[in-house]
A = this chain, B = another copy of it.
Amino acid sequence: MARIAVVAGDGIGPEVVAQARKVVDAVLPGVEATEYDLGAARYHRTGEVLPDSVLAELAGHDAILLGAVGDPSVPPGVLERGLLLKLRFAFDQYVNLRPSRLWAGTAGPLSSVKPGEVDLVVVREGTEGLYAGAGGALHRGTPAEIATEESLNTRHGVERVIRDAFARARRRERRKVTLVHKTNVLTHAGSLWSRTFEAVAAEHPDVTTEYQHVDAAAMFLVTQPQRYDVVVTDNLFGDILTDIAAAVTGGIGLAASGSINPDGAYPSMFEPVHGSAPDIAGRGLADPVAAVLSAALLLDQLGHADAAARVTAAVGAELAGRTAGVPLRTAEVGDRLAAHAAG
C-alpha cells in the first residue's frame, strides 16, 4: 500500500490538505500517511527549513502531498529555495506538471473562450535552466557591480522531459506537443531544445508537433488557449506560462501541480499552485479543489489511473454544480468530493 508524506504547511494548507486526504481515502482506502511539519511555522519555531534527517525520511515515501508553505513573516526566498526548489532538485523531479482546464460551470476571464474548450497541460522542466543556481556578482553594491545568472541545459535533462511530454501526448486525444523556447535569441540552449525535440518527434509520428517562441506563446495563451494540448518548455518559461494558463482558466485557485520524478527513484511531490492565503486561513472558507486535483495527479502517478479519474470527475461535477457568489465551506466541499469520487 502506498506510503505518502503529507506536508500540510501554513495558512490554508492544513485545511485544504485535509480534504485532499479525505478524497484519497475514499478512492484508495488504506493509504498510509505520515505528517511532516515544515514551512513558516517550523522555521519560526526552530530556524529549520528542511533538515537533512527530514529529507532522508521523505525520500522513503512513495509521494509527497503538500498544502502550501509560506507566510509574509518569512524573508522572501527562504522557503521557496530551501524547501520547494530543494526538494525538486534533491528528488530529481524533472517533470513539473501543470494541467489547466476551463471547467464547465466556471467562468474564465476571456470572453471568447467557453467552458470545456481549454484542456492543456504544461510539462515544465524542473531541474535545469536558470533554476540551477549558477551565477554570481562582482563589486556588489558599487557602481561597477555586475550580476550574472546562468541557464544550464543538458541533452540528458532536455531529452528526458521532452520524452515525458510525448508520452503524455500519446495518452491524450489530440496528441499534440508544442515546444516553447526563444530559439531566435537563446541560440545555444534553443538549438539543443529544438534538435532534441525534433529527434524525439521523429520517434512519435503519431504526435503532431509545433514550435513557438515564448513571447508568441504567452500571447496565444491569452488569445487562443484552445490551441494547446501538451506544452513542453524550460524551467523559467514554464514558470511564467503556467501562471498565464492558470489565469485564463479561472485563476491559480483551481490549479494543481506535480513535481514528478517519473523514474520513481525518488518521491514525486504534488501541491496546489495557490499559496497559504493567510488572510482567510483557519476560517474554513478555502476552496480545496486545487489540493484535491493535486491528489488526483498523485494517484495517477502512483499507478491508480482509475481512482485519479474518479477524483477528477468528482471535481468536474462539483464545479459544474456551483452557483457564482455562493460562499463555500472547505469541509463540505471535501465531503461532497469524497462521496462523489467513492461513487
A contact residues vs B (CB 8 Å cutoff): 76-77, 80-81, 85, 109-112, 130-131, 135-137, 139-156, 182-189, 191-192, 195, 214-216, 218-220, 222-223, 236, 239-244, 246-248, 251-252
Q: How many copies does the complex hold?
A: 2
Contact indicator B236/A188 (Cβ below 8 Å): no
With a CB–CB cut-off of 8 A, which chain B residues contact A214? 239-240
A153 (CB) vs chain B CBs: closest residue: B147
CA distance A151 to B131 in the complex (A): 13
CB of A108 to closest CB in B, whole Å: 9
Q: Pick the contact of A192 from B145, B153, B185, B247 — CB < 8 Å?
A: B145
Contact indicator A81/B137 (Cβ below 8 Å): no
With a CB–CB cut-off of 8 A, which chain B residues contact A156? 143
CB-CB under 8 A for A218 and B219, given A150-B151, A183-B76, A186-B135: no
With a CB–CB cut-off of 8 A, which chain B residues contact A135? 151, 186-189
Contact indicator B216/A243 (Cβ below 8 Å): yes
Contact indicator B215/A130 (Cβ below 8 Å): no
CA distance A183 to B77 in the complex (A): 8
CA distance A180 to B243 in the complex (A): 15
With a CB–CB cut-off of 8 A, which chain B residues contact A148? 150-153, 188-189
- The 3 A-B residue pairs with the shortest CB-CB distance, nearest first, are A222-B247, A145-B155, A111-B111
CB of A112 to closest CB in B, whole Å: 6
With a CB–CB cut-off of 8 A, which chain B residues contact A144? 155
With a CB–CB cut-off of 8 A, which chain B residues contact A76? 183-184
A157 (CB) vs chain B CBs: closest residue: B146
CA distance A251 to B214 in the complex (A): 16
With a CB–CB cut-off of 8 A, which chain B residues contact A252? 219
With a CB–CB cut-off of 8 A, which chain B residues contact A142? 155
CB of A82 to closest CB in B, whole Å: 11
Contact indicator B141/A195 (Cβ below 8 Å): yes
With a CB–CB cut-off of 8 A, which chain B residues contact A192? 137, 145, 147
Contact indicator B247/A218 (Cβ below 8 Å): yes
CB-CB under 8 A for A147 and B247, given A77-B184, A110-B110, A183-B76: no
With a CB–CB cut-off of 8 A, which chain B residues contact A149? 150-151, 153, 186, 188-189
The 9 listed contacts between A and B (C-beta, < 8 Å) are: A111-B111, A147-B153, A149-B150, A149-B186, A216-B243, A218-B247, A219-B243, A219-B244, A222-B244
Q: Pick the contact of A152 from B80, B130, B146 — CB < 8 Å?
A: B146
